[in-house]
Amino acid sequence: MPVHPSADVDDTAEIGDGSSVWHLAQVRENARLGENCVIGRGAYVGSGVTMGDNCKIQNYALVYEPAVLEAGVFVGPAVVFTNDHYPRAVLPDGSLKSGHDWEPVGVTVREGASVGARSVCVAPVTIGRWALVAAGSVVTQDVPDFALVAGVPARRLRWVGKAGVPLVSEGGRWRCPHTGDHYIETNGVLAEDTQRTTTDDSRG
């Protein structure tokens, strides 16, 4: 388990086999990283944050608790996951707030999803399976599975497949030009077409 000497990893954090924690990164108490995860330079993983296998947290990303990342999630450089509905440094009487004076809320990122560089995800939101958040976006609402969202606030522009490539419309259905996989859209929800595989295309 390569952990750079300059990294700050709490003794109670769980680091899965094959995972790496690089220069100046911080992994807080009771965080749980799956296998083969990469925590980049200067990244922050908050207390109790959970990550599935094969996740990548790029340089200087801030993943505040109680975020949950499923397997295969990509978090780009300088991304921020917030965790406070109504952030204040002080209470109404002017006294400094403590950890007991607010209730943390988290960002959930489902399997295979990617969050582009310098995006901000304002908790509580859920990023759907295999979704793609474009760089510089501000996510204030849940992102559907396979959605490509961009902007401030982020809105869906297109659908993407598991390869992250925009899908091609084929008369009510969608196809990934990279993998050949097919998808069906129903009432604004995209799902994999399990009845049609890439081998079907070879039959003419």
Helix (H, G, I), strand (E, B) or coil at 108: strand
Please write the tens of the pLDDT for every residue from 74-95: 999 999 999 999 999 999 999 9
Please list the pLDDT of the chain residue by residue as tens digits (204 residues).
589 999 999 999 999 999 999 999 999 999 999 999 999 999 999 999 999 999 999 999 999 999 999 999 999 999 999 999 999 999 999 999 998 888 999 999 999 999 999 999 999 999 999 999 999 999 999 999 999 999 999 999 999 999 999 999 988 799 999 999 999 999 889 999 988 655 444 433
pLDDT of residue 197: 52
Position 138: which residue type? Answer: V
Q: Where along the chain do its domains lie?
A: 8-160, 162-204
| CATH for the 8-160 domain, from 2.160.10.10, 3.40.50.1110, 3.40.1440.10, 3.30.428.10 | 2.160.10.10
Which backbone phi and psi does 199 adopt, to 5 degrees? -70, -25
Query: Contact at 8 Å (CB) between 8 and 22?
Result: no
* Residue 172: predicted pLDDT: 77
